[in-house]
Each structure stands twice: as structure tokens, then as C-alpha cells.
Structure 1
Amino acid sequence: MGYAVVLGEALVDLLDAEHDGEPVYRQAIGGGPLNVAVAVARLGGDVQFVGSLGDDALAGRIRTFLTGAGVGVAGAVTVPAPTALAVATFAGPEPEFRFYGEPRSYALLGPDDLDVALVEGADVVYCGSIVLLDPPVLAAARRAWAIAGGLRVFDPNVRPSLLTAPDALDRLRGVVAEFAAGAHLVKLSSADARVLYPHEPVEGVAAYLRELGATTVVVTLGADGALVAAADDVVRIPAPKVDAVDATGAGDSVMGALVAELLAAGEPADAVGWRERVAFALRVAGLVCESPGGATAMPTRAAVTARFA
């Protein structure tokens, strides 16, 4: 089994909470790609995180957390910036994130910072999330995409609060189309699909991304499971019944589980294989939802088997 490279952001989440009747923020290490990398490692995959980290104590905690989780940091660079913060509030079914910190520590990885050999040697290369809104990291991701010798997986992980410029959404759609065209797998949420392609049903979004060139598309549907479009097959896979307490990181765990499965067994030969992979990934996400926190809730294979035996 080879290894995966996950290129994207790592930051610190401040999660809306309550203590002694007072509103507080609970600190948690996060970032969608970081969550993906941790999920891959917990499920037994060899994975390297590639991104820019700040030069403060919070960045030190991120590095310590990643290495403790079994994620390699050889491709992570230190930049002169405070660690970016994502403040999460829970007013609806999904958390809303607002981002703080200038310059943003996660947005300073440029194409010349890439460890080319690390990317070229990977069996799976992941790109996506909010770093693609920043020109330096977008250029780095494009370079990684171009030199990747293995499978390419992509997740837009849209955060509407960052799309403030008048043309921001159109530019993001262009980036999504660009990366989807070369992807073996695109994973996005139904919330991502609504922002990117309003009024288009998820089946239509999956069909569009496959027309662009994506081999397989998975759209997560929250408690309703996921839609899988592979080969000529488009099906919905139900989610397992769980006692959900916190959905933070659930979508990232689906991506991480799919990457771990690609590392363990390669690309499925047919649509049935994808259905089985996605069903497993939904069990992983279900277990994540039963524990508070994002990255810290990522389970092992043994835990998934025990919970859903």
C-alpha cells in the first residue's frame, strides 16, 4: 500500500459552546483537509499533509496533533503568520464558519514550496477546500494536480462566508470545473452543490461534473446518505441510523474514508465497488457524528466495525 498526499488548510476552530450557562468557544484543531488527512491515518492509511502553518504556539499544537495522529508533515512549511482561526456557530443543520487572521496562515503555500518528489510518488493526491480561493495555494494545487502520478481526488468544501467579492462564486465555479475535469473522484456535499449550482438537483450536478471529466462523483446528503455516480450507475446510498451529537467533520470523514479505501484497494472496477466504498464511508461519518469534535472524532477501522457489526 502506498501513501496519499492531502494538500489544503490546517487551522484552529473555535466552536460555539456553553459552560456554566455562559457562551464560550471550544478550541479544536481543524480545517477540512486536515480532517481528511487524520481520517485516512486513523483508518490505517499512510498520509502526508501538505500546507502552510503559522509560526506561533497554535501551529505547534497543529504539528503535534498531526504527528500524534500518524500524519506526516514533511510537506508542511512554516510561514511568518499567526494561525488562522475559524469561528463556528451552530444555528442551522450545518455549522457556519467565519475566518479570522491576516495574512491567513493556511494561504501562503506557493508552487515553489511543493515537495515535488513527495507529490509525484503519491498513490492518491487530494486537493480542495478554501485554500483554492487564494492565488498562491491555487497555483500550488495546480502544480500538484499536474505532476500527480496517482489518483486525483477533489472536494470543493465551499464556505459561502468567504465568497464576498462580486465575481467570487463565478471564479470558484471555474476552479471546480478545472479540477473536476482531471479528477478520478469528486466528493461534495449537497450544501456545496446548492451554492455552486443553485436550483440544480444533485443528480444534475453529479452528471455535469462527470461530463467535465470526473470519473466518479459522490454527493453527501447529510442524514439521507449519499448519491454515487459511477460508470452508468447513479444510486443513493442510505446513511446508517446513529445518535448524532455533532456533525463537525462528517463530510471530511467521508472523503478520508474514500481516500483510505483507494489506498488499500485501488480504484473500484465497477459501480458496485463504489457503492460498497461509499456505504463504508457513511458508516465512518455516522460514528464521527456520535462524538463531539471534528478531527478528534475520526475513528479507526476497528471502531467502525464494532459500532456497525
Structure 2
Amino acid sequence: MGYAVVLGEALVDLLDAECEGAPVFRQAIGGGPLNVAVAVARLGGRVQFVGSLGDDVLAGRIRAFLGAAGVGLDGAVTAPVPTALAVATHSGAEPEFCFYGEPPSYGLLTADDLDVGLVEGADVLYCGSVVLLCPAVLAAARRAWAAAGALRVFDPNVRPRLLDGPGALAGLRETVAEFAASAHLVKLSAADAKLLYPGEPVEGVAAYLRELGAATVVVTLGPDGAVVAAADGDPVRVPAPKVRAVDATGAGDSVMGALIAELLVDGEPTEPADWHRRVAFALRVAGLVCESPGGATAMPTRAEVLCRFTD
């Protein structure tokens, strides 16, 4: 089996919690791409995380966590800044994040920092998330995208709090179109689709991204499953399993991680039905993540998924 490269952010989440009746924040290692990398590793895939980390105690914890999870750090660089924080609150179906840290520790990977050989040797390259709003990392991602010799997967993972006005949204929309045009797989959430393309149904968004050039598009719908647009067929809805959800943090990232892990095992599907089967498996992974608190720490092994969903 080959390996995947995940290029993006790692940071520390501060999650709403309660202690002895008082509101507190619980520390958790996070970042969408970090969650993706951990999901790939937990499902048996080889994976390297590429990004910039701070130089403080929190960054040390991130490195230790990734190492213990089996995620390689050959492409990670250290920046002389404190680790960025994301404060997560829940007011709806998905958590809302406010980001702290200037400059953000995750936004300092440059094109010159990029280990091009590591990217060229990968079977799958993931790019996406909030680092796309950081000019230095966007340049590094473009260089990686151009150097990738195999499958390219993309996830915009939009965080509205980081978008400074309509101009920023328009710029992000252009970036999404740029990466989608040559992606083998684009995964986004219904919330991403609503923000990027307001008023469009998710099936329409999936079809539009395919028209731009994406080979396959998956739009996750939370408990309603996902829309899959593959090959030349109409978008198809794949249902999610019924679960006892307690925390949806990292669920969408686990879908991407599961799809990457499947690409590492069996390569790119040639038939839409095979994509539907893989997305159904990925939704089971996400369902299991939702049954445990805590994002990256909730990512399951393949054996745990098969045990939970025996049919």
C-alpha cells in the first residue's frame, strides 16, 4: 500500500464544557486536515501530515498526538509562534469556530518549505480547509497540487468567521473552482455548499463542481447521509446509518479520511456504484465518530466500524 499526504492545519480546539456547574473550555487537538490524517491512519492507511506547527508546549502535544496515532511528520515545519486556538461553540447542527492567533501557526508553510519529493511519491494528496485563506500556504498547496503524481482530493471546509466580507468569499469561491477543476474527488458539507453557492440545491452544487472538472463530488448532509455525483450519472443520495449521536465534531473529516483510506487500498473507482459503496462505509465511520465525544480522538479503526455495523 502507498501513502497519502494531507496538507492543511493543525491547532488546538477549545470546546464548550462544564465543570462543577461552571462553564469551562476543554482542550482538544484539532484542525480539519489533522482529523483527516488521523482518520486515515486509524483505518490502516499510511499518511504524512504537511503543515506548519508552532514552537510551544501545545505544538509539542500536537506532534506527540500525531506520532502516537501513526501519522508521519516528515513534511511538517516549525514556526516561531504560539499555537493557534479555535474556540468551538454549538448553536446549531454544526459547531461554530472562532480563531485566535496572529499570525496563525498553521498559516506559515511556504512553497519553499514544501517537500516536493514527499508529495510526488504519494498515492493520494489532500489539500483544503482554512489554510487556503493564508497566502503562503495557498502557494504551497498550489505547488503540491501541480507536483502530485496520483490522486488529488479537495475539501474547502469553510469557516465563515475567517471570511472578511464578500470579497473574501468571492476569492474563496475562485480558489475552490481552481482546485476542483483538476480534483479526482471533492468533498464538502451542505453548510459549505450553502455558503459558497447560496440558493443552489446540493445536487446542483455537486453537478456544478463536476462541470468544472471534478471527477467525483460528495456532499455530506449530516444525519441525512450524502449526495454523490460520480461519472455521468445523476447525483445519488446515500443514507447515513442510525446512530446515538453525542458529538458531531470531526464527522465530516472522518468521511474524507475514510474515502482516502479506501483510495489507498483499492484506487479510484471506475463505476458510480463503487463510489456509493465507499461513501456508505465512510458514513458508517462518521456515525461511529458521532457516538463519541472529541473529534480526532474519536476516529475509529476499521475493526471498530465493522463491529459496530455488522450488517
Q: What's the TM-score once normalised by structure 1's chain length?
A: 0.99
Deviation for aligned residue 1:232: 2.1
1:124 and 1:93 mapped to 2: Cα distance? 30
Deviation for aligned residue 1:269: 1.3
Deviates more, 1:165-174 or 1:276-285: 165-174
Match of 1:77 in 2: 77
1:100 and 1:239 mapped to 2: Cα distance? 34
1:224 and 1:19 mapped to 2: Cα distance? 33
1:77 and 1:165 mapped to 2: Cα distance? 31
Amino acid of the structure 2 residue aligned with 1:237 = V
Aligned to 2:5, what secondary structure does the other structure show? strand
Match of 2:279 in 1: 278
Match of 2:263 in 1: 262
What are the superposed Cα offsets for residues 238-269 of structure 1, whole Å, 9 maximum, x if unpaired? 00000000000000000000000000100011
What are the superposed Cα offsets for residues 128-150 of structure 1, whole Å, 9 maximum, x if unpaired? 00000010000000000000001
1:256 and 1:143 mapped to 2: Cα distance? 22
2:101 matches 1:101: yes
Taking the TM superposition and a 5 Å limit, the aligned residue runs for 1:56-75 are 56-75=56-75
Amino acid of the structure 2 residue aligned with 1:169 = L
Match of 2:124 in 1: 124
Match of 1:155 in 2: 155
What are the superposed Cα offsets for residues 119-166 of structure 1, whole Å, 9 maximum, x if unpaired? 000000000000000100000000000000010000000000000144
Deviates more, 1:164-173 or 1:194-203: 164-173
2:114 and 2:164 mapped to 1: Cα distance? 29
Aligned residue pair count: 309
2:162 matches 1:186: no
Match of 2:254 in 1: 253
Match of 1:138 in 2: 138
| RMSD after superposition | 0.5
Deviates more, 1:161-170 or 1:111-120: 161-170
What are the superposed Cα offsets for residues 57-116 of structure 1, whole Å, 9 maximum, x if unpaired? 000000000000000001000001100000000111110000001110000000000011
1:300 and 1:133 mapped to 2: Cα distance? 32
Aligned to 1:176, what secondary structure does the other structure show? helix
Deviates more, 1:23-32 or 1:229-238: 229-238
Match of 2:230 in 1: 230
2:206 matches 1:214: no
Deviates more, 1:220-229 or 1:164-173: 164-173
1:141 and 1:115 mapped to 2: Cα distance? 11
1:277 and 1:119 mapped to 2: Cα distance? 24
1:139 and 1:271 mapped to 2: Cα distance? 33
Amino acid of the structure 1 residue aligned with 2:164 = T
2:165 and 2:48 mapped to 1: Cα distance? 33
Gapped runs of 5+ residues in structure 1? none
Amino acid of the structure 2 residue aligned with 1:307 = R
What are the superposed Cα offsets for residues 180-224 of structure 1, whole Å, 9 maximum, x if unpaired? 001000000000000000000001100110000000000000000
Match of 1:8 in 2: 8
Aligned to 1:126, what secondary structure does the other structure show? strand
Aligned to 1:119, what secondary structure does the other structure show? helix
Amino acid of the structure 2 residue aligned with 1:282 = L
1:86 and 1:77 mapped to 2: Cα distance? 20
Identity %: 80
4+ runs deviating over 3 angstroms: none
What are the superposed Cα offsets for residues 23-52 of structure 1, whole Å, 9 maximum, x if unpaired? 110000000000000000000000000000
Deviation for aligned residue 1:20: 1.2
1:308 and 1:80 mapped to 2: Cα distance? 45
1:253 and 1:57 mapped to 2: Cα distance? 27
Match of 1:301 in 2: 302
Aligned to 1:167, what secondary structure does the other structure show? helix
Gapped runs of 5+ residues in structure 2? none
Match of 1:201 in 2: 201
1:202 and 1:170 mapped to 2: Cα distance? 19
Taking the TM superposition and a 5 Å limit, the aligned residue runs for 1:9-88 are 9-88=9-88
